[in-house]
Chain A
Amino acid sequence: MDLKRTPDERRFCEEVRAWLAANQADLNESQTYDQAENMDGWMAFLKRWQRKLYDAGWSGISWPKEYGGRGATITEELIFTEEMALAKAPNLMNVSIGIELVGPAIIHHGSEAQKKRYLPKILSAEEIWSQGFSEPDAGSDLASLRTVAVEKDDQFIVTGQKVWTSWAEYSDYCILLARTDPKAPKHKGISCFLVDMRSPGITIRPTVQITGEAEFSEVFFDGVCLPKESLLGGINEGWKVAMTILAHERGTSAIKYQIRFRTELDDLISLSKSMRRNGKALSEDPLVQQKLAQCFIDVEVLKYNIYRSVSQIMRNGKPGPESSIIKLFWSEMDRRQKEISMELLGLYSQLVQHSKWTIDDGKWPRAFLWSRAGTIYAGSSEIQRNIIAERVLGLPRSSDAR
């Protein structure tokens, strides 16, 4: 057990830092976009930025070289992600669905042809991906999904509706779960498809969220024809693919959140020193100190939880159900900490972007609202607890849940 970096890891880290420093202009540019007002410009920037990362060999750090990755270790990937977050480089938004979720699914379950066809373009952001999993009546109970794919001649015909599809409007492809055997038990009749979003019969309708933004969409499939080759993994084996994706969604990519939480906490601590209440700085109040110290403790513990999980992946090759602990930890922690940030801002916490007297241009109430999403998406906290109880601790299954 050693938290010190090896000479190789230190060299790697220096290389990342040097590259980021050389491309500071792009990092500066990323700060100039108002995502709420210029989403198209922002998305175009992100594509350019990722292309640049790809050309420099920074896209898909731990992916195999033959598919355009760097072939580096998962620890190096962790270092890269940390350095990106520390430099306040933008998160790759929907682009990350491709790299973090779709990519591993294709690497684990795809045919050679699929790997060659899709992986490099995921890394270069030439093709943007979305994820078609949830449905109006299949949220936590994902396996009860009703979208169907009927095999006909050389095609699958897809009909149904997906919800909460992030960045659907900007995506070229969608990784889709659909029922291919309605008679089989629900987990065993599902297949996974790689769907071209320009296919006729697809309609996208954005969903406005409590933040006022519309990052998610409903996606309707009306007799959409898919070629046979779009099947990922075996027929009726889609649940396995889904499990691979969900484990990655809950896993080590959390390091970038950890660094964001730490940066936000540092900002909150600074704010507590400048804001005054009852004649003194907030930071001098012992109760406030206790709360901020607890925030710091939790953010540190999250970091070491992620490090341990990375070391486990290095041993076992892929994330296991333990990744649910990380997801549960950070999402619940985020909620607690954003409540505290609102409490510290007091009356000012209501002032949103562009308001007179607003603090940090409304970023705190916005982050507060967003903190209510993390405990729901990628498997709600309740689902994570079910997974931990049944698949990590081995408790008996609760009735027919999932």
Chain B
Amino acid sequence: MNFGFTEEQEMIRSQAAEFFKQEYPIAVVRESLNDEHGFNQDLWNKMSTLGWASLVFPEEYHGAGLTFVELAVLLEQMGRALAPGAFFSTVLLGGLTILETASAEQKLKWLTSIADGKLKSTLAHIEPGGDSDAGGPSFATAKRKDNGYVLNGTKLFVPDAHSADLILCTARSSGSSIPKEGISLFAVDQTSAGLNITTLKTMDQTRRLYEVKFNQVFVPEDRLLGKVGQASPAIEKVFCKATIGRSAEMVGGAQKMLDMCVDYAKQRIQFGRPIGSFQAIQHKCADMLLSIESARSAVYAAACAASEDSHDAALLASVAKAYTNDACRFVGGETIQIHGGMGFTWEHDAHLYFKRAKADEFSFGDATYHRARVAELIGL
């Protein structure tokens, strides 16, 4: 047992930290806020060169064959840098879903392109009035027609749909009353006729969410991923990893917030002393560090479990997300408070992290949802 970084993990961490410092400084983050789709081609190309999109995929699909732990290490640095969403959507939502469900032929076609950085993807699952978890009832329908399916329905909160070449979409292919049954998964070209993508104006502008409408979208049969009507278990597995991955990003963002607070508290003079010498500020910072380090422990443990496909991966994912949600809400709030009036200005960067932390809190389940999951999984 060794719960510290391996040399390789440490290398990924330091390489990513350095990369984002050079290639995605906060000035560039701010430029992206005004861009309608928030996709940065230059950054994408550079990340592709480093092979990050290939990290966790098998070598036969041009992957690097590393584990989910290495990916979590990378995601933590991405969260710290407020990296845009296309990487997460492509690798964790698109890539992992394809890896989990697709045929060898489909994998060769799509997974290889994802690993090469040539294809961007996302997953359209949540619907208006539907649950936000993996097993939510799907109102979107897939009806058999000719040698394919016709999709109809509306998907909400789809991340990075505009930049995704391939939109994976869940839809109900049979009218079962059991929510988790009868859901099928399709890979839809973003340019398909009848597909309508609308940007959602969000509080957090460092990522982009969309409404994706399917109006009589025809999908040929070879675009069905996995067996018809049986997508839910795979979606659940993907959501488990996405939950851990999102938590890793959140820990990175929270660490950056604390670093900003500590720097500010050392420099800001009031009553003739740096405010960081006041215990009122010191104790806030100490509690922030405790929350962040604890969230980090939980995320790493969950990442280890997920990389080994351990039976308690789902439990640890919920432990991690519940803890991290609460931790980041606390850290985000204290960050604004410690920065005082400056923290309430647009000019200061605190709000960028504060808003993202709030948005992250509700993606892949809030703390109440995950506590209920934990209760269920420990037999309460």
A interface residues with partner B (beta carbon < 8 Å): 1-6, 9, 75, 269, 272, 283, 286, 289-290, 292-294, 296-298, 300-301, 304-305, 307-308, 310-312, 314-315, 322, 325, 328-329, 382, 384-386, 388-390, 392-399, 401
Contact = CB atoms under 8 A, between A and B. Distances in A.
16 contacts: A1-B3, A1-B5, A290-B368, A293-B372, A293-B375, A296-B374, A298-B323, A301-B323, A308-B293, A311-B4, A325-B290, A328-B290, A393-B262, A395-B277, A398-B278, A399-B277
B69 interface: yes
Contacts of A393: 258, 262, 285-286, 289
A310 B278 CA distance: 31
Contacts of A3: 1, 3, 301, 304-305
B32 interface: no
A329 B294 CA distance: 9
A269 B378 CA distance: 10
Contacts of A396: 266, 273-274, 276-277
B283 to A, nearest CB: 4
B298 A304 contact: yes
Contacts of B262: 393-395
Contacts, number: 159
Given A1-B304, A301-B294, A386-B286, 16 more contacts: A269-B378, A289-B371, A289-B372, A290-B368, A296-B319, A297-B323, A300-B298, A304-B298, A307-B1, A322-B293, A325-B294, A385-B283, A386-B282, A390-B282, A393-B262, A395-B266
B122 to A, nearest CB: 29
A293 B321 CA distance: 13
A9 B274 contact: no
B56 to A, nearest CB: 15
Nearest to B288: A393
B277 A397 contact: yes
Contacts of A297: 298, 319, 322-323, 371, 374
B32 to A, nearest CB: 30
A308 B286 contact: no
A290 B375 CA distance: 7
Contacts of A311: 2-4
A315 B7 CA distance: 13
B353 to A, nearest CB: 18
Given A300-B319, A305-B297, A393-B289, A293 B3 contact: no
Task: Rank and list the top 3 A-B pairs by shortest CB-CB distance, nearest first.
Answer: A389-B282, A304-B297, A311-B4
Nearest to A75: B1
B245 to A, nearest CB: 15
A283 B378 CA distance: 12
Given A1-B300, A308-B297, A386 B279 contact: yes
B293 A305 contact: yes
B265 interface: yes
Contacts of B372: 286, 289-290, 293
Nearest to B72: A1
A193 B375 CA distance: 51
B23 interface: no
A388 B380 contact: no
B286 A389 contact: yes
Contacts of A308: 3-4, 293, 296-297, 300
A226 B301 CA distance: 50
Contacts of A315: 4
A290 B368 CA distance: 7
A389 B319 contact: no
B286 A304 contact: no
B9 interface: yes
Determine chain B's interface SS by DSSP, over half rule: helix
B315 to A, nearest CB: 8
A358 to B, nearest CB: 25
A200 B262 CA distance: 52
Contacts of A293: 322, 371-372, 374-375, 378, 380
Nearest to A294: B371
Nearest to B312: A300
B8 to A, nearest CB: 10
A289 B380 contact: yes
A385 B4 contact: no
B59 interface: no
Nearest to A306: B297
B22 interface: no
B287 interface: yes
B306 to A, nearest CB: 11
A361 B150 CA distance: 66
A293 B6 CA distance: 32
A99 to B, nearest CB: 22
A305 B279 CA distance: 25
A132 B69 CA distance: 46
A325 B5 contact: no
Nearest to B374: A293
B308 interface: yes
A2 B371 contact: no
Given A289-B375, A292-B380, A305-B294, A4 B283 contact: no
B244 to A, nearest CB: 13
> Which of A9, A296, A301 has the largest number of chain B CB atoms within 10 A?
A301
Nearest to B69: A1
Contact of A1 (B6, B266, B279, B322): B6
A389 B281 CA distance: 9
Nearest to A307: B3
B74 to A, nearest CB: 13
B18 to A, nearest CB: 21
A395 B374 CA distance: 37
> Which of A394, A397, A398 has the largest number of chain B CB atoms within 10 A?
A398
A2 B304 contact: yes
Contacts of A4: 1, 308
> Which of A308, A311, A395 has the largest number of chain B CB atoms within 10 A?
A395
A398 B281 CA distance: 10
A382 B285 contact: no
B283 A389 contact: yes
B327 to A, nearest CB: 10
A398 B278 CA distance: 6
Contacts of A392: 286, 289
A276 to B, nearest CB: 15
Contacts of A298: 323
A314 B3 CA distance: 10
Interface in B58-73: 69
Contacts of B283: 382, 385-386, 389
Given A297-B323, A301-B297, A395 B287 contact: no
B1 A9 contact: yes
